[in-house]
Amino acid sequence: MSQHEISVTVNSRLHRVRVPARLTLVDFLRDVLGLTGTHVGCEHGVCGACSVLLDGRPVRACLLFAVQADGAAVLTVEGLAPGADALGVLQDSFWETHALQCGFCTSGMLIAAHALLQETLNPTRKEIRTAIGGNLCRCTGYKQIVDAIELAAERLRSTNEARSGHGANP
Amino acid sequence: MKAVDFDYVRAASIADACRLLADAGEDGKLLAGGQTLVPLLAMRLARPSVLVDINFIAELQGVELDGEQLLVRACTRQATALADARVQHHAPLLAKALAFVGHDQTRNRGTVGGSLANADPAAEIGLAALTLDAEVLARSSAGERRIAVAEFFTGPMTTVLASGECLTAVRFPRRTLAGRVGTGFREMSARQSDFALVAVAVELALGTDGRCRYLALSVGGAGPKPLRVDAVSARLVDTGLADSDLDAAAAIVCQAIEPQTDILASAGYRRRLAGALAAQALAEARDEALDGRA
């Protein structure tokens, strides 16, 4: 029943809000902030649709209460795009390889892939499959998703080369 | 799929957590990584009236070398422990086991102590801790106590921890085993990252003559709690760990366990699986010790 004042940074914007203790982070993002790109699937930590980055690391937003994100920085799928009408390299690669059909898992897949590409721009297909191992997709059979992440890594590598060592972000 | 209403309190220290937990009585629950508790709340299988959040307590975080022990504090994230060079070096079996715990998204929140306190009979961390002769430290308003992992689990999802007690750390003996040491960890699950249908953990040491000097083997997922199979150690110590010895040990494992049939697998399948995984884990540990990689 308790209510709590929290400060949380979401996609670089600081929010100071009062939340009930039982409000999950994903419900906070969607229902309080209106960021509906993060999806709610199973609500008990199995499907990965609600994945977000918490202080730079991928987590399930349904297994965390908003009050626990007090003081943390959250990145959602909305934060991956360079602008409201533009796609990032990773998102564009998903479009290019038909890595989504219904789109329900896509935001979670993008977050998991983004986390991987922050660590390495040379992932093996096995590493890619491991990185999205916690995200369920019922449409694609996963192959196109792995293709998309591989393509994004390749594009980001060549961008880096073109900029002669100045890093690009996924 | 929404948790019932509860009060949330954030503990600032272990002493604070113990006091808040004691104040809450039987209706209080500690909230660590939440990777098991929060699903139980969402499904309303758990309905605590107070959650005591211990994630913000600095003295519950981190790994350190403490004399002959490797100390892993209770709220250390599984991902942090997995990436820690001291864990890999001083408790390689724990590092192997951690790689099987969930996946990145859950390891980034899930804690080492939380997995132990949760006491799922198929959980990997408890299995490794039992095999490594680890001990658990727990604190309550009455003081601190040490509990050998062999005496910690009492059955599925139950431990000797009292309701006002907080698990604070787990201590793994640093390897002082003479000779070449090897470890093996094998598991079968329905999907990568799921709890094990059966898992087997092995640690062994070889003498300079290549014969086995020390061996510990435990099985998880095949009974109400992880089981150390001492008869395997008796059979294999002083042998050269030939494949025929390992097969004999695997047969002992099949006989030692009392697996259950459930929705995921039959008791008979689990029994055969335990034998096969035991032989593989033993071979992995033996070959690692022979290579001198451990």
Contacts of residue A74, Cβ cutoff 8 Å, sequence gap at least 6: A8, A9, A10, A11, A25, A29, A52, A53, A54
Q: Which of the four pLDDT bands, split at 50, 70 and 90, describes residue A163?
A: low
Whether residue A168 has pLDDT greater than 60: no
DSSP state of A30: I
* Contact: B39, A63; criterion CB under 8 Å: yes
pLDDT of residue A43: 95
Q: Which of the four pLDDT bands, split at 50, 70 and 90, describes residue A159?
A: confident
pLDDT of residue B195: 83
Q: Which of the four pLDDT bands, split at 50, 70 and 90, describes residue B294?
A: very low
Whether residue B179 has pLDDT greater than 60: yes
Residue of B nearest to A57 (CA): B108
Backbone angles phi, psi at A81, to 5 degrees: -80, 145
Nearest to B104 by CA among A77, A112, A74, A54: A112
**B43 touches A: beta carbon within 8 Å:** yes
- Do residues B136 and B167 make contact, with C-beta atoms less than 8 angstroms apart? yes
* Contact: A43, B8; criterion CB under 8 Å: no
pLDDT of residue B176: 67
Q: Which long-range contacts (CB under 8 A, 24 or more apart) does A81-84 make?
A: none
Whether residue B175 has pLDDT greater than 90: no
**A10 touches B: beta carbon within 8 Å:** no
* Contact: A1, B106; criterion CB under 8 Å: no
What would the mean pLDDT of B92-104 be, rounded to a whole number?
A: 95
Whether residue B26 has pLDDT greater than 90: no
* Contact: B6, A21; criterion CB under 8 Å: yes
* Contact: A58, B192; criterion CB under 8 Å: no
Whether residue A164 has pLDDT greater than 70: no
Whether residue B293 has pLDDT greater than 80: no
* Contact: A134, B51; criterion CB under 8 Å: no
Work out the minimum CA distance from A35 to partner chain B, whole angstroms. 19
The overall average pLDDT reported for chain A is 94
**A36 touches B: beta carbon within 8 Å:** no
What would the mean pLDDT of B121-149 be, rounded to a whole number?
A: 97
Whether residue B292 has pLDDT greater than 90: no
- Do residues B53 and B32 make contact, with C-beta atoms less than 8 angstroms apart? no
- Do residues B153 and B225 make contact, with C-beta atoms less than 8 angstroms apart? yes
Identify the residue among B5, B105, B106 best suited for mutation to test binding to A, counting A beta carbons within 10 A and taking the highest.
B105
pLDDT of residue B192: 76
What would the mean pLDDT of B237-251 be, rounded to a whole number?
A: 97
* Contact: A2, B43; criterion CB under 8 Å: no
**A88 touches B: beta carbon within 8 Å:** no
Spell out where chain B has E strands: 7-10, 28-31, 50-53, 63-66, 69-73, 135-140, 143-148, 153-155, 158-159, 166-173, 180-188, 198-206, 212-220, 227-228
Whether residue A155 has pLDDT greater than 60: yes
Q: What is the CA radius of gyration of chain A?
A: 16
Residue B54, both tokens: 């211990």
Helix (H) or strand (E) holding B108: none
Q: Above pLDDT 90, what percent of chain B?
A: 90
**A134 touches B: beta carbon within 8 Å:** yes
Q: Calculate the dihedral angle through the C-alpha atoms of B159, B161, B162, B167, rounding to the nearest 10 degrees.
A: -140
Enumerate the residues of chain A whose CB falls inside 8 A of the CB of residue B3. 22
Whether residue A108 has pLDDT greater than 70: yes
pLDDT of residue A44: 94
Residue B114, both tokens: 């939380």
Whether residue B283 has pLDDT greater than 90: yes
Identify the residue among A3, A26, A44 best suited for mutation to test binding to B, counting B beta carbons within 10 A and taking the highest.
A44
pLDDT of residue A132: 96
Whether residue B18 has pLDDT greater than 50: yes
pLDDT tens track for B59-72: 999 999 988 899 99
* Contact: A2, B53; criterion CB under 8 Å: no
Cα–Cα distances in angstroms (integers) from residue A19 to residues A27, A31, A32, in the given order: 11, 11, 9
Whether residue A69 has pLDDT greater than 90: yes
pTM, 2 dp:
0.94
Work out the minimum CA distance from B44 to partner chain A, whole angstroms. 11
The overall average pLDDT reported for chain B is 95
What would the mean pLDDT of B171-195 be, rounded to a whole number?
A: 86
pLDDT of residue A160: 81
Whether residue A169 has pLDDT greater than 90: no
